[in-house]
A and B are shown apart, each in its own frame.
Chain A
């Protein structure tokens, strides 16, 4: 299986900050990467697909980039609603569609 590693595991930031979360794949996954946001007790919400495409309805302060094995999720001008846990997911490999371990974004 392809392993996905996110960093950092926890990130402390303030409202208005710009933050970046990194996701690394254990092998080349081209651009077949999605990002999700999850709040406690809720299902994940799709933010980004195909590494850099914004899902409909997602605020423009969210953006994704990368290809191959290294990817980033950037949130510009953090809003109170953005404090949550973020997961990357690769969907390149038919052997399994694996997620990163998550990055918890906390209020500083």
Chain B
């Protein structure tokens, strides 16, 4: 069965960086795009970006351009999201989410499987 297992909670100081991992299993990792979505405490969902299943090239929401980097290691079926220059309003649960996609790997940009979420707390 498809599973996305994320790394554990992190605490960072303002200005620092954090890198969250998402290990996939139960499917062919390179057959689907992976997205990252975050949720601040008590707030809604916010799409951050996605990583191309083939090229590994990422597309980011304009809000996060220059601060976020999404990468992957296909040898261990793991995707990563690194956010730099952290601020207190980056405190949130960060989710990886698999793109539903079609049989040829074309992205649909909605999400059928999600990781359990990783809480990142930014506090001085």
Contacts and interface: CB of A to CB of B under 8 A. Distances in A.
Interface of A: 1, 34, 36, 38, 43-46, 49, 55, 87, 89, 91, 94-102
Contact of B44 (A34, A43, A94, A99): A99
B110 A46 contact: yes
27 contacts: A34-B111, A43-B95, A43-B97, A43-B114, A43-B115, A44-B45, A44-B95, A44-B97, A44-B111, A44-B114, A46-B111, A46-B112, A49-B108, A87-B45, A89-B45, A89-B47, A91-B108, A95-B62, A96-B47, A97-B47, A97-B110, A98-B47, A99-B44, A99-B45, A99-B47, A100-B44, A102-B44
B61 interface: yes
Binding site secondary structure of chain A: loop
